[in-house]
Structure 1
Amino acid sequence: MKPLVIITGVGPGTGSAMARRFHDGGYQVAMLARTAERLTDLERELPNAFAVPCDVADPAALTAALDAIEQRAGVPKVVIHNAVGGAFGNFLDIDPQVLQQNFQINVMALLHLARWAAPRLEVAGGGALLVTGNTSAVRGKAAFAGFAPSKAAQRILAESIAREMGPRGVHVSFMMIDAVIDVPWARARMADKPDDFFIKPSDIAEEVWHVTHQPRSAWSFLTEVRPFHEAW
């Protein structure tokens, strides 16, 4: 039986690229998104991938989706929390409910996902839980008040889980993507930028594959990826 990866937040960029990379690597791929229709083409492209409609901000819906995946495909080997809630605006302008909703997606969904997955990974002999993040996890810019606090909390939560589960054979990691991801809407907004300004989703997926398959003697927790000339 093929190993299973569960990926939340499978959209047209990083999520789809990760689904393709793990599928090509011999995995079954459970793809979570708010609506299954977004994943119809990807399901047709990838015979061993299947869509699971789920709003990860709803704890009951997330648990039900995970239980359904387990019943269909077994216990995962890799779990990736790629779903993200974001918003721009300073602390005076944003609706406080926006930040609360982003906490539900970025932090609380990770907590529920880890509480479901980590014990199963441990019993199965090990596995990996990876979270995709960005530089808002380590700095709070003025216009990111509705987003950065949730990503910082997400990184700290992931570190806490890693310290708990690492000695028990479960590799938990946080990948900080310091770049503009090469997706159509970003290209449209930044049409004046050269190709090498953007980070390619397929290259992110390749590094995710690498980190989730590191040998136990050399596990990474925090990894950073950025284009070669990104200022940082």
Structure 2
Amino acid sequence: MAHTAVIAGVGPGLGESLARKFVDEGCRVGLFARSTDYLEELATDLGDDAVAVPTDITDPEAVEAGFREVRDAFGPVDILVNHASGGSWKGVRDVSPDEFERAWRVSAYGALLCTREAVDDMLAEDGGTVVFTGATSAVRGRGGALGFSAAKFAVRGMAESLARELGPDGVHVAHVVIDGQIEPPAVRESQPDREGAEFLDPDAIADSYWHLVTQDRSAWTLELDLRPHVEEF
């Protein structure tokens, strides 16, 4: 049976790599983001198994409408990647309450809205997979990034709670710690033969996400920690 996936938070880099990987593996994919032109170009490039769904994931009505569009195109959703992040790169004396709340709304509140929509499909069918994209700041708060760190801690807590709540019903929930800088698209384009491991390759990360989807239920991963190779830790 073909999978139907929603990737919430698609942009150049890891979001696009996830979309390409899932389509290559036979999934039909709904692409969520606010960047209408970029999404439509990517969906056109990916072909009939992808649909661009411009969506503000912090808006409950927009999320509901987005999932309805994906279901109408491809059927019930059984894979969700909560990939959107809200960045507030300021310390406590500089960050405004609105900036702090915005970081939380994109990362945590948006993930809640998307998960609530997807889980109903998964529970009605034969289970599914929910993957949360985390960061080093989810396990070790970053100085000068109060909003981002707090939001990522919230996402990690959501993943751990949901795994215990939904696992018995066949829904695999996993949290991925991206411990390092993802290779920017500009670097890949300008230095295609570059050697070195200072960046995480987004295509390699996407392979790891797909592995989470295909894991046997007897050995599910709750948290996956990914980092580039270094000589010493």
Q: Give the structure-1-normalised TM-score.
A: 0.92
Which residue is equivalent to 2:199? 198
Which residue is equivalent to 1:96? 97
Report the RMSD for the aligned CA atoms in angstroms: 1.9
Residue 2 of structure 1 and its aligned partner are, at CA, apart by 3.2
Asked if structure 2 preserves the Cα contact closer than 8 Å seen for 1:7 and 1:31, the reply is: yes
Asked if structure 2 preserves the Cα contact closer than 8 Å seen for 1:179 and 1:230, the reply is: no
* 1:59-138 aligned within 5 A: 59-138=60-139
Runs of 5+ in structure 2 lacking a partner?
189-193
| CA shift in 2, pair 1:44/1:196, >3 Å | same
Asked if structure 2 preserves the Cα contact closer than 8 Å seen for 1:197 and 1:230, the reply is: no
Which residue is equivalent to 1:211? 212
Aligned equivalents of 1:123, 1:4: Cα separation in 2 = 14
- Segment drifting more, 22-31 vs 58-67: 58-67
Residue 138 of structure 1 and its aligned partner are, at CA, apart by 1.0
Residue 194 of structure 1 and its aligned partner are, at CA, apart by 6.6
Residue 71 of structure 1 and its aligned partner are, at CA, apart by 2.0
Aligned equivalents of 1:21, 1:184: Cα separation in 2 = 16
**Runs of 4 or more above 3 Å deviation:** 184-187
Runs of 5+ in structure 1 lacking a partner?
188-192
Which residue is equivalent to 1:41? 41
Which residue is equivalent to 2:53? 52
Aligned equivalents of 1:19, 1:141: Cα separation in 2 = 29
Aligned equivalents of 1:172, 1:89: Cα separation in 2 = 30
Residue 35 of structure 1 and its aligned partner are, at CA, apart by 2.4
Cα offsets for 1:13-62 (capped at 9, x unmatched)? 00100000010000111111102211233222211111100011112211
Residue 185 of structure 1 and its aligned partner are, at CA, apart by 6.1
SS at match of 1:196: coil
Cα offsets for 1:90-146 (capped at 9, x unmatched)? 111112211101111111111111111112102111110001110111111221112
| CA shift in 2, pair 1:104/1:230, >3 Å | farther
- Segment drifting more, 88-97 vs 39-48: 39-48
Aligned equivalents of 1:230, 1:166: Cα separation in 2 = 37
Residue 231 of structure 1 and its aligned partner are, at CA, apart by 6.3
Identity %: 37
| CA shift in 2, pair 1:185/1:147, >3 Å | farther
